Structure 1
Amino acid sequence: MPLGLVALALGGFGIGLTEFVIMGLLPEIAADFEVSEAVAGYLISGYALAVAVGAILVTAAVIRFDRKRVLLGLLVLFIIGNLMSALAPSYETMMAGRIVAALCHGAFFGIGSVVAAGMVSPNRRAGAIAMMFAGLTIANVLGVPFGTLLGQQFGWRSTFWAITAIGVVALIGIATLVRSSAADSVHGTLRAELWAFRNKQVWLSIAVTILGFGGMFGAFTYIAFTLTEVSGFATSSVPWLLVLFGSGMFIGNHLGAKAADRALAPALISILVAVTAVLVVFAATADNKTMTMISLFLMGAFGFATVPGLQMRIMNYASAAPTMASGANIAAFNLGNALGAWLGGIAIAAGLGFTSPIWVGAAVTVSGLIVLVIASAMDRPDTKTPPVAVLAGR
């Protein structure tokens, strides 16, 4: 395994920690800045919006530059953003720091996917992408509970100081361990990168990502309410149940990559079928604690097993110019998150109960599965995309 993948994973760990750890620190942050918890929650939604925007605009802005240098620049942006959060004298400065850090998120994972794939042989590319995303899953399994504990014991700012330090270590790691030959490629123009979007399969891949991943996230968004109000768990149990979910994510990310490397389309179809089945079973048995724990683990496993394959699919269809397409797919993941959360919220507001987001998530996932089956049936060489395999210099 190339050591550069470890450095990319460390960067992914820091970015994942930045995104998720704040959920456990909102009460302390709200009290410190004297704002309501709802207003403090904008620090989460503002971050997500900035990720989606940054995945497209930042990637477009750096398309001409050396990928290794771009990754280093993005980590500098990440460090600055978290340093702003750690030092923030006001809520507004905190929000600005969150946005600055978020702008690097989508571009880092988008460009990092291309760089990771370029480090290994073609039949191991999904596994390399999964290695980078493993940092994100580990952030959920270990980083969020310990980051929350650190913030509760020593003040929430200590967590952001720790994340800043992780960013510095990741910066040094990528600078020393990622070889330029792995990060370099035939650097095209923005026009050449946008040409890839004339391939209908690129757009279908984005649609599958939004729907296939969005369904799972819609169910997850309101999971705390489901666990406490339906399953009957104590509020204090929720963080450890989320560790169970994160453990599923970690395992699913690894196994999903192996399946995608063997047979991409069949793997994605099978995984989305499994996600749908798990969500249906979860919704139907959410009042049973044992079944809830099993479903929570499997939801994380199958939900995140889609990620390497979905990222690989769009990069395959945009192989002559994968950078913008890869970044667009990272934005699609976040759009899926927003769509799933919005639809789940509508179901709750309609009085359908706290299992309704899970049912809605199952329906959204089925729609993604339908799009994927249609896209696979339509799969033919597209003459609009130059048939040149220059994925990360290969």
Structure 2
Amino acid sequence: MPFAIYVLGLAVFAQGTSEFMLSGLVPGIAQDLGVSVPAVGSLTSAFAGGMIAGAPLVAILSMRWPRRRALLAFLGAFLLVHVVGALTTSFAVLFGTRVIAALANAGFLAVGLAAAASMAGSRAKGRATSILLSGITLACVAGVPLGAVVGEFWGWRSAFWGVALISVPAVIAIVAAVPAEPAGPEAASAKHELRALRSPKLIVTLLVGALVNGATFCSFTYLAPVVTAVTGLPGGWVPVVLALFGVGSFAGVAIGGRLADSRPVTLLSVGSAALFAGWLVFAVSAGNPVVVPILVVVQGTLSFAVGSTLIARVFYAASEAPTLAGGFATAALNVGAAAGPVLGGVAIGAGFGFRSPLVVSAVLVAGALLLGSAAVVRNDASGNIP
């Protein structure tokens, strides 16, 4: 696997840390800038919104750029807005930096996924995708907890400085390792790529990816109250459980990278069925302090094994639209990441308790299974290969 792909994974690690680190910095930001906790929470929504809207839009705008130039532009902008965020005393400015950071992150991930798939070759797109996504899982395991610790000892601004500093070696490495190729012929026309994205198979893959990722973030968002209020473990177990989920997600990405290219149908069918069953078992067993840590690892593994494989299938299904495929894959995942917690919150607000997000996750995966199965049946009926 080309070294440049691992370099892109380092940059994705920095960006993933930035996306999730606010969960541990909210009180400090609220107190320092004189705003409410819900106002600071809106920074997370701003980032998610920027990722959803920005991924396809920024990918289209950058189509005529050489990929190395696009990657450097996005990562450079991402680095600079974190410097501004670390220095500002204005909440409005900080809010603006989160939107810009999300747009830069979306553009980088869209172009980075396309570049990795191209550099890996026609038969290793799944493995290349898994390397980039491992940057996000490592951010959950190490980057986010580290950001919380740094913020606790040196203030929330230090976490922003840390993300900027992590981005510097990634910029240098991209200059050194990513080929300085001109924009390829596939970047000549946005209309050409958009036409290629009309494939029903691709649309189904994107929808299934959004549902699976929605299930993942629905339960991940509410793991803390599940652990403390349902399982009955002390609050000190929350970081441990979150880290266990991160370990599972890293293992899942590794498994997806090994099987997404050679046995995708088996992984998706068996993995999705197991994921559905796992969320139901988790909901029933959430009060058991021995079983819960095990299920957290298992569900993290299954969620990211299935999710990373779906992203790889996007690039196989949209070989004529590599840049916009990355943009729409990024957007689909973030639609799920934004919708899942909302649906889980609605279930909790309706009085169904903290187990309810686990049931909602099972329902979302069931929807993904039904949609995928219907697509396979339709393809078989029309004589096409699924």
Identify the TM-score tier after normalising by the shorter chain: over 0.9
Are the aligned partners of 1:215 and 1:362 in contact in 2 as well (CA < 8 Å)?
A: yes
- Structure 2 residue aligned with 1:367: 367
Aligned-pair CA distance for 1:187: 2.2
Aligned-pair CA distance for 1:182: 10
- Structure 2 residue aligned with 1:153: 153
Aligned-pair CA distance for 1:55: 0.5
Are the aligned partners of 1:72 and 1:174 in contact in 2 as well (CA < 8 Å)?
A: yes
Matches of 1:154 and 1:356 in 2, distance apart? Answer: 37
Q: After superposition, what is the alpha-carbon deviation per residue over 1:172-191, rounded to whole angstroms, capped at 9, x for unaligned?
A: 11111112359856323111
Aligned-pair CA distance for 1:52: 0.6
Secondary structure at the residue paired with 1:103? helix
Aligned-pair CA distance for 1:105: 1.8
Output the TM-score relative to the length of structure 2.
0.95
RMSD across aligned C-alpha pairs, in angstroms?
A: 1.6
Aligned-pair CA distance for 1:111: 1.5
Aligned-pair CA distance for 1:28: 0.9
Counterparts of 1:1-394 in structure 2, within 5 Å, are 1-181=1-181, 184=184, 186-379=186-379
Matches of 1:87 and 1:45 in 2, distance apart? Answer: 22
Are the aligned partners of 2:197 and 2:321 in contact in 1 as well (CA < 8 Å)?
A: no
Secondary structure at the residue paired with 1:354? coil
The letter of the residue matching 1:273 is: A
Matches of 1:279 and 1:351 in 2, distance apart? Answer: 19
Q: After superposition, what is the alpha-carbon deviation per residue over 1:255-312, rounded to whole angstroms, capped at 9, x for unaligned?
A: 0221211122221122111211111111000001111101111111111112321111
- Structure 1 stretches of at least 4 aligned residues deviating more than 6 Å after TM superposition: none
Using a 3 Å threshold, how does the CA distance of structure 1 residues 182 and 341 change in structure 2: closer, same or farther?
Answer: farther
Aligned-pair CA distance for 1:120: 2.0
The letter of the residue matching 1:365 is: V
Are the aligned partners of 1:193 and 1:321 in contact in 2 as well (CA < 8 Å)?
A: yes
Secondary structure at the residue paired with 2:120? coil
Are the aligned partners of 1:218 and 1:361 in contact in 2 as well (CA < 8 Å)?
A: yes
The letter of the residue matching 2:82 is: N
Output the TM-score relative to the length of structure 1.
0.93
Matches of 2:12 and 2:90 in 1, distance apart? Answer: 27
Are the aligned partners of 2:111 and 2:323 in contact in 1 as well (CA < 8 Å)?
A: yes
Are the aligned partners of 2:4 and 2:174 in contact in 1 as well (CA < 8 Å)?
A: yes
Matches of 1:301 and 1:280 in 2, distance apart? Answer: 16
Give the percent of matched residue pairs that are identical in Structure 1 and Structure 2: 35
- In structure 2, the gaps of 5 or more residues are none
Q: After superposition, what is the alpha-carbon deviation per residue over 1:205-242, rounded to whole angstroms, capped at 9, x for unaligned?
A: 11111112211211112111111110112222211211
- In structure 1, the gaps of 5 or more residues are 383-394
Aligned-pair CA distance for 1:57: 1.2
Are the aligned partners of 1:345 and 1:357 in contact in 2 as well (CA < 8 Å)?
A: yes
- Structure 1 stretch 259-268 or stretch 293-302: which is displaced more? 259-268
| Aligned length, in residue pairs | 381
Q: After superposition, what is the alpha-carbon deviation per residue over 1:141-200, rounded to whole angstroms, capped at 9, x for unaligned?
A: 111111111111111111111110111211111111112359856323111111112211
Are the aligned partners of 2:66 and 2:181 in contact in 1 as well (CA < 8 Å)?
A: no
Matches of 1:201 and 1:276 in 2, distance apart? Answer: 22
Are the aligned partners of 2:215 and 2:336 in contact in 1 as well (CA < 8 Å)?
A: yes
